[in-house]
Structure 1
Amino acid sequence: MKQLLIALVFLTTAFNYAQDTGSIVGKLIDKEYNNEPLAFANILIKGTTNGTTSDMDGLYSFNNLEPGEYTLIYSFVGYETQQVPLTVISGKVTEANIVMGASAAALDEIVITTTSRKDSEVALLLDQREAVEIKESIGSIELAKLGVSDAATATTKISGVSSSEASGDVYVRGLGDRYLYTTLNGMTIPSDNVDKKNIDLALFPTRIVQSISISKNFAPENSADQSSGSININSRSLVGNNEIKLGLQSGFNTNAIGQSKFKRTANRDDISFGFYSSNLSTKDAITEQSWDTESTSLPIDYRYTLTAGTKIGDNFKILFNGSQSSKFEYNEGTFQQFNRNLEDVKYTDATNYINTISTTGLVDMAYKINDDHDLRAVSLFVNKMTDQVFEAGRNREGFVFEEVNDEDAYSQYVKDQNTKQTRLWVNQIMGDHQLGTKNHITWGLGYNRMDADEPNRIRNEVNIKKPTDTESESIELANQGGTQQRKSAQEIEDSELNARIKDELKIFEKENESTLMVAFGANYRYKTRDFQSTVYGVDEVGAPGQVVPPSLDELGAVFTQDNFDSGVLSLTESLPDSYNGELNSASGFFSANYAVNKFNFNLGARYQKDEIIVDYNVGNAPGGREGSVTKEYSNIYPVFNVKYALNEKNNFRIAASKTITLPEFKEIAPFGYVSPTNQVVVGNIDLEASDVYNFDVKWELFPSNKELISATGFYKHIKNPINKTLDRGSSGYFTFENTSDKAEVFGLELEANMDIIASTDDNGYNLDFGFNFTKMWHNQDLKTIYNQDGSIANTYTYNGKDEIGLEGASDYIVNASLNFSTNWERTFNANISGNYASDKIYALGSAPDSQTVTSTLYNNEIIEKGFAVLNATLSQELSDNININFKALNILNPNIKRTQDVYTSSTGVESTQVTRSYKNGTTISLGININF
């Protein structure tokens, strides 16, 4: 609890929110013709010459209005002229829907609402229509309607985006983690996982999210380390003058609730309120802490949230959002691993018990110096604690090649207990300054800190001797390698400083003719990582079978101080594995935007210099335990965008750019991370960056202010693509390689967000449908490297395959949602949404070391099979201040499966084997939200 208080105090060091201009949007309705849209009516801001007309759908808008009071005059020949007073609020959209008729409309026929600019579905669509670059956004209002609980799920509601239920990765246009770039309020944030480039977006509950945007083509002001796109999360700010909200939710996972004794790790007693703390060292835990799991009888999910904010004086705003959630997950299925077509590991009862507790605190402070100068500061704290128990082989069918040579006599059992704690601090200070009418400067400074630890991982591997006519079943400690019984600790500490500045200059603006804007600025990022892993292994001295645990649930009975003192057991303390990483990235950029008639031309370039240094001290590293590797990249990254507005409803866009994909620390450092299933992933010191050339063509149609139809074609040419692959030879581990000289991706995206029924009647209802579809064609030529004498030095071809698709890329991605809402006094909302991503390559295959056995001792690629996800949510207002909601997630509960084609020498044919399969279960919850 002390740590939580310290974190909350730390959060209060931040301040401020950058204000914005406001907008007025709305729709005119013809009372004389069955409430049809009224086109070509005149709308004028009283006392100005600023006016517009309604379009064919009765829609109109005024953008970039200074905050204040306005009166709009609505007129149409033969109809009563109306004057409506409106308030424009900085950073928000005022929506005024007006009923026009031959006589004055009643007051209750004028509907005026004000929403946060970044929340409004209408405003986000208007922003997308007017933007130069290709981007798509989704706001918190839409996310609430969809019942989305976190940012990772939110991104899948955007066309061309999918999330792997198996890995948790977000894929944009079929390209995964390493091709993405994630920012918070436009500034970089660290990953919470040594295996990932981007932070787990599930750490961002949608209650702290104002909107999420995905830019699918490169902008010079952003890092060039993106190839499929960049994801930006805009955090919440205070809405209005005061805000107090309380949210409570409870539910269960259908898989987890069925476990009467849900297993927890032996670390459970060291976890309080989702925070891990122990005074016992990992080494002392060998004899002073249990090796056996504990359990929970009622695995119920919960979430509670408090939001509170106020405006102090005329210029200062503050908002706090704090929350904590706990969820339980259970899955059981098959795990197999093949090495050179030989079965290496097989479990038919691989089970996972997972409890995740996430604690989040956000402080947003704003100070408006004057109408031209604003400051904002954001401080975000996230603590994610995951307690996981993996076990397999309890059914006496487990097989591990290195331990069990006689399956008739022995089977193997494994139990892996791991507590992972991630603590993330993000601190940002930002400024927004309008200097005169033509100069706009924005800047930001950030400091991030991330600690991702596995403080006490516990692993047991035992051989179960099967009963015979003369002997009963017995348990023996596995002993091939000396660390099958072990406790280990892993620590990751990331620190990062980042800064940005951008100056936008309006060179000239000729009314109704042309405009020229230029922008220039700089970015800087300095990131360090300290990584260390220490293992303490226990080995049986002498012949196996001298210490016999009573049962699989009482393995800890033999790990006593007496057995160490008597010399029956010995402690092995290996040298710690460690590496230190350093990233220096400095850049400057320039862009010019010229608008003339219906055209908008944007040309820019970014000069970026990246230096990556990794110093390592790792066992089994190539060339020796200690080493250092440096990667330097210095390039100019050009970008070109053209937008042609055919009319008010149609846009045509072309975009071209060059970007880079940098290798990550973990992809370079030669440390081998062992998963609970005993799969090993090792970095590659010879890995190099990929250069990517991007080209997009997009057509957009906006039938109304809430509707969109679009089609996009895209092409990517990737030089030296990076792929996760099975290591060549007999090691049986995964690594990262530049498997090809080039890869190509062609894609087509289709999107439609349409109103099926749109009612203005107080007793009416609305029905809208969202759909997006992506089809991709992707291929890479697997390369072979030759020695000077013509012999093969290395090859990435295997099983006669010299070309293959890209790792992580699905041929088809489909997202769809159906939304129903009412106009009743107490609004009711219902949504059903689904996602499907087809098969993708989980890891590429590999060839054997010897070219004389290429036809038999190879590894085929591992495929993650496609599956569909279906979610539903219902919400009902009970009063002006109380709302209840019901959610059912992963309703179809699909079987998540990976497969691999394996060659059997006895038959001479390949057969498809399931290497991993499980179901995650359906999550059902009921919540209540109260506004005070």
Structure 2
Amino acid sequence: MKQFLIALVFLTTAFSYAQDTGSIVGKLTDKEYNNESLAFANILIKGTTKGTTSDMDGLYAFENLEPGTYTLIYSFVGYETQEIPLTVVVGKVTEANVVMGASAAALSEIVITTTSRKDSEVALLLEQRNAVEIKESIGSIELAKLGVSDAATAATKISGVSSSEASGDVYVRGLGDRYLYTTLNGMTVPSDNVDKKNIDLGLFPTRLVQSISISKNFSPENSSDQSSGSIDITSRSLNGINELQFGFESGLNTQAIGQSKFKRTANQDDISFGFYSSNMTTKDAITQQSWDTESTTLPIDYSYTLTAGTKIGDKFKVLFSGSQSSDFEYNEGTFQQFNRNLLDVNYTDATNYSNTISTTGLVDMSYDFDDNHNVRALSLFVNKLTDQVFEAGRNRDGFVFEEVNDPDSYSQYVVDQNTIQTRLWINQIMGDHQIGTRNHLTWGYGYNQMDADEPNRIRNEVNIKKPTDTEAETIELANQGGTQQRKSFQDIEDSEYSARIKDVFNVFENDTISSLKLTVGGNYRYKTRDFESQVYGVDEIGAPGQVVPPSIDDIGSVFTQENFDNGSLSLVQQLPDTYNGELNSASGFLSLNYSINKFNFILGARYQNDEIIVDYNVGNAPGGRDGSVTKNYDNIYPALNVRYALNEKNNFRLAASKTITLPEFKEIAPFGYVSPTNQVVVGNTGLEASNVYNFDIKWELFPSRKELISATGFYKYIDNPINRTLDRGSSGYFSFYNTSDRAQVIGLELEADLGLVSSTEDNGYNLDLGFNFTRMWHTQDLRTFYNDNGSIANTFTYNGKDEIGLEGASDYIVNASLNFSTNWERAFNANISGNYASDKIYALGSAPDSQTTQSNLYNNEIIEKGFVVLNATFSQELSDNIDLSFKAFNLLNPEIKRTQDVRSIATGTESTETIRSYKNGATISLGVNINF
């Protein structure tokens, strides 16, 4: 591998005689006709034979221009000819929008900007037209118009993309976290949540975003660990010479604000300005810290931002942006758990209180050595603290099978308090160089650090003895296992180094007839994880009922040093659970981009070696506490992309590729994480990666500058898919398995972005409609493994089913938005958007235990029901420097529900049971933004 990388770097250096090119794009408007688009005007580069004409929308473009200064000549019969000098910068777009009229335009009527391709609406649409890959982008200019506040919401404005109100995940073509890959400026970025592969895009405010791009098919320069798409966030640099902006927003969650005493954890005294810090160990907290929840009376959401930057001299730019937000959520609903068709847990008042405080800080610096060489460095810090309280059984109807044998006499109450602090630090340095006449060399190096801690999780489970005619209600400590009363901590530390290098070599270019480019490069990623979890339980000595809390709101009063000293209580200190993970990924890629006439072909391949090592010391692990597991995947991943440009308004695209879906550390390590609802998720050391084969075909129509109509068909074949399912037998644990030999997905994706009303008058307005629809047909088989004697060794079939849909995939996804904007002196913008994703499988079912002959002791799949989300945003310019905004999210406040078909052991009939249901509430806010 080392020799391969050395050879790759040598090959890249050998092409370092080079430069890339830049472009000039723009729009011509007709001054004599209310600045409408001017078609068929002539644009010529002075001193050359290169020329073009504006299209029906007044758009024009000159691609692949060498850096330098050009003079463009604009002419139209009966109009004043104009000559405008323009500078082309490597890898960027110079945008010149020109007003043509009977007399020469004033200087103020000519707008010239030089931007990255991922900023300007005109440049982005031209890039999409000309790109060979199936790639879609949304830039900061359009995001500002839509009033979008974060990258997660921004991504849903792209066709086939949705986000789940239940999980917070972003889905591309109905496939979620497992099948996506997220990068920042083309480089890997760690997840802020160890339970997920991708970072929460909601942590990226759109003020930090220059553009968001989603590639729905595999490109060899990206990691092969993606099957539904890769999301790249391009962070923004300083705009102009100086920048100073302040914003403040305040609002409420309609359900949280209704709680006169919004519950907080007992860790509140250790939280300051969204940061947790304590000198007390979790063990000492058993007797030295309260066990009971606290509360706040006014759960108001807020956020504030500050952005400042300046240009120093002619070469150096620096930008700082910082923000903090606080959001409250409250929900209450049903929670049930069935294991082998038997009711294990039943709560009708499962309640969550949550407060999330996110603090971000970005420093971006860039230095232009000259027009050919640029180096950029950025550092992004994110601190996300979530303080959450879960309780259930306060209504005295709680039932837990292992604790309550007589539900007529007893109920159970549980309260789980957890403070989760994630600190993420991303550092990147990147270079962009042109050397010689044909090469464009880019590189990057990154170091990321992620700490995800649960410093003091507090959990109590008590049995409530119901009152009788002769006895009052009493509270007894639950004691099955000795850790029902516990405090615990969990520490996760991830470190990651990454590097990338890419060289684009222009082999030849024959005007607009044909050209050939060679791209070569490589990536390296090294990631480590140190994980530790320890539980300190409190057990009652003797028969239950000797230590009696006065009420469920004062459970902590019994956990005193006196009760430990007199032998009423004992400390149960479990051995710590630990695992260390290591990911070593090295890759190289090569592709050829050949265009001839209306065809463009990219043929390439990526060699990628992924090695995953997990060493663990975990209680109840199969084969004993200590163990180690190594996974190695060494493959070549080919990709083909073809574009046929029928004319300037119609494109046909075809793509085919092979990718992989790697298991995550937490899916391999056999550590069991207990959720607040007491569901346990355990890793599986036998889990293997999935290979995925992808095929796409797409048609695009660009009716005008801002309009797009497209239709896409796609097919995916997944070999050895990974699913979450309940373990067989009586454990009731969720785990991850290769449940199937194969899965198949067939999809149809339709998109339309249309201008319903368009006006150029000063008092006019515009009305735009965005709509996309995805229909998917997906299925996978369910495996059965046999022993040599023909008996069943293991099976994932259940209830007569040997075929099922794909976990996390919806049959239907619909996104729609309606945007109203004005051309008034003080612009007004209103946007209404909606999303619907149909039912999806939350977890697969499981077969009966292989040792039993009772075929009805199985688990059916758990289904997350579909629901509609409706959002609205409004913004109004109050002055040249002040904007006012109003936002309302989740207006319909739909019920989020998971169901499971359960068979009655007595009658043999099946009924659909709601095993989880709740509403998150609507969020309403008012904000002001000031530009100085």
- Residue 85 of structure 1 deviates from its aligned partner by 6.2
Look up the SS of the partner of 1:144 in the other structure.
helix
Q: Deviations over 1:104-155 (max 9, x none)?
A: 2764994636474422222212111111211111112222222222222221
Conserved 8 A contact 1:116-1:239: no
% identical aligned pairs: 80
Quote the residue 1:26 is aligned against: 27
Give the whole-Å Cα distance in 2 for the aligned partners of 1:663 and 1:646: 42
Can you give the 5+ residue segments of structure 2 that lack an aligned partner in the other structure? 1-18
Give yes or no for contact 2:276–2:421 (8 Å, CA) kept in 1: yes
Structure 1 residue 174, shift from structure 2 partner: 1.6
| Distance of 1:602 and 1:865 partners within structure 2 | 41
Match of 1:403 in 2: 403
CA displacement 1:786-823 (0-9 Å, x = unmatched)? 11111000000000000000000000011111111111
Shift of the alpha carbon at 1:72? 4.0
> Over residues 313-336 of structure 1, what are the superposed CA-to-partner deviations in whole Å (9 max), with x where a residue is unaligned?
111000010111111111111111
Query: How many angstroms apart in 2 are the aligned matches of 1:858 and 1:48?
Result: 76
Q: d(CA) in 2 for partners of 1:112 and 1:755?
A: 23
- Aligned ranges for residues 389-788 of structure 1 at < 5 Å? 389-788=389-788
TM-fit CA distance, 1:167: 1.3
Seen in structure 2, the aligned counterparts of structure 1 residues 20 and 767 have a Cα distance that, compared at 3 Å, is farther
CA separation in 1, counterparts of 2:506 and 2:112?
A: 33
| TM alignment of 1:903-918, pairs within 5 A | 903-918=903-918
Flag the 1:553–1:91 CA change in 2: closer, same or farther, 3 A: farther
> Cα distance 1:800–1:778, how it changes in 2: closer, same or farther (>3 A)?
same
**1:5 equivalent in structure 2:** none
Local SS of the residue matching 1:255: coil
Distance 2:226 2:817 in 1: 28
* Matched-pair contact (CA < 8 Å) for 2:26–2:60: yes
C-alpha distance in 2 between matches for 1:206 and 1:19: 29
Structure 2 equivalent of residue 143 of structure 1: 143
Q: Secondary structure at the match of 2:407?
A: coil
In the alignment, is the contact (CA less than 8 A) between 1:25 and 1:93 conserved in 2?
no
TM-score calculated relative to the size of structure 2:
0.95
User: Could you say what secondary structure the match of 2:157 adopts?
Assistant: coil
Please give the residue correspondences for 1:882-893 in structure 2 after superposition, counting only pairs within 5 Å: 882-893=882-893
Checking the alignment, whether the CA contact within 8 Å between 2:333 and 2:348 is kept in structure 1 is yes
Pair 1:112 & 2:111 matched = yes
The answer on whether the counterparts of 1:887 and 1:925 sit within 8 Å (CA) in structure 2 is: yes
1:80, CA displacement in angstroms?
A: 3.8
User: Paired residue for 1:14?
Assistant: none
How many angstroms does 1:527 deviate by? Answer: 0.6
SS of 2:202's equivalent in the other structure is: helix
Q: Which runs of 5+ in 1 are unaligned?
A: 1-17
Task: Give 1:781-930 correspondences, 5 Å limit.
Answer: 781-850=781-850, 853=853, 855-930=855-930
Distance 1:535 1:496 in 2: 28
| Distance in 1 separating the partners of 2:156 and 2:459 | 36
Which residue of the partner structure matches residue 13 of structure 2? none
- State how far apart, in whole Å, the 2-side matches of 1:363 and 1:152 are: 22
SS in structure 1 of the partner of residue 311 of structure 2 = strand
1:557 alignment partner, SS class: helix
Say which SS state the counterpart of residue 849 (structure 2) adopts. Answer: coil
> Please, what TM-score do these two structures have when normalized by structure 1?
0.95
2:20–2:66 contact (8 Å) kept in structure 1: no
Aligned 8 A contact 1:358 1:382 in 2 = yes
Which deviates more from structure 2 when the two are superposed, residues 140-149 or residues 326-335?
140-149
Letter in 2 for 1:731: S
Where do residues 117-128 of structure 1 align in structure 2 (5 Å cutoff)? 117=116, 118-128=118-128
The RMSD of aligned alpha carbons is: 1.9
Query: Partner residue of 1:8?
Result: none
Asked if the contact 1:25/1:62 (under 8 Å) is kept, the reply is no
Counterpart CA distance in 1 for 2:269 and 2:21 is 49
Measured after TM superposition, the shift of residue 71 of structure 1 is: 5.2
The amino acid of 2:145's aligned partner reads: K
Name the stretch that deviates more: 57-66 or 214-223: 57-66
The residue aligned with 1:258 is 258
| Cα distance in 2 between the residues matched to 1:422 and 1:503 | 36
Q: Give the whole-Å Cα distance in 1 for the aligned partners of 2:391 and 2:402.
A: 18
The structural deviation recorded for 1:23 is 3.5
| Residue identity opposite 1:27 in structure 2 | L
Contact 2:525–2:584 (8 Å) recurs in 1: yes
Instruction: Tell me, in whole angstroms, the C-alpha distance in 1 between the residues paired with 2:20 and 2:287.
Output: 59
Equivalent position amino acid for 2:588 in 1: G
Distance 1:658 1:696 in 2: 12
Give SS of 1:535's match: strand
How far apart are the structure 2 equivalents of 1:879 and 1:69?
A: 37
CA distance in 1, matches of 2:297, 2:92: 48
CA offsets per residue over residues 404-429 of structure 1, 9 Å max, x none?
11111011100000000000011111
CA distance 1:353–1:721, shift in 2 (3 Å): same
Letter in 2 for 1:700: E
Q: Given the superposition, is the C-alpha separation of residues 69 and 884 from structure 1 closer, same or farther in structure 2, using an over 3 Å criterion?
A: farther
1:377 partner letter: A
Contact conserved, 1:135 with 1:216, CA < 8 A, in 2?
yes
1:89/1:60 Cα in 2 relative to 1: closer, same or farther (>3 Å)? same
The aligned residue for residue 289 of structure 2 is 289
Q: Check whether the contact 1:820–1:829 (CA below 8 A) recurs between aligned residues.
A: yes
Cα 1:561–1:691, aligned 2, differ >3 Å: closer, same or farther? same
Q: Are 2:306 and 1:338 equivalent residues in the alignment?
A: no
Give the counterpart letter for 2:440 in structure 1. H
The CA distance in 1 between the partners of 2:674 and 2:73, in whole Å, is 69
Q: Distance in 2 between matches of 1:847 and 1:818?
A: 47
- Structure 2 distance, partners of 1:105, 1:909, is 83
CA distance in 1, matches of 2:438, 2:110: 36
Paired position in structure 1 for 2:5: none
Deviates more, 1:479-488 or 1:155-164: 155-164
Residue in 1 aligned with 2:216? 216
What SS class does the counterpart of residue 469 from structure 1 fall into?
A: coil
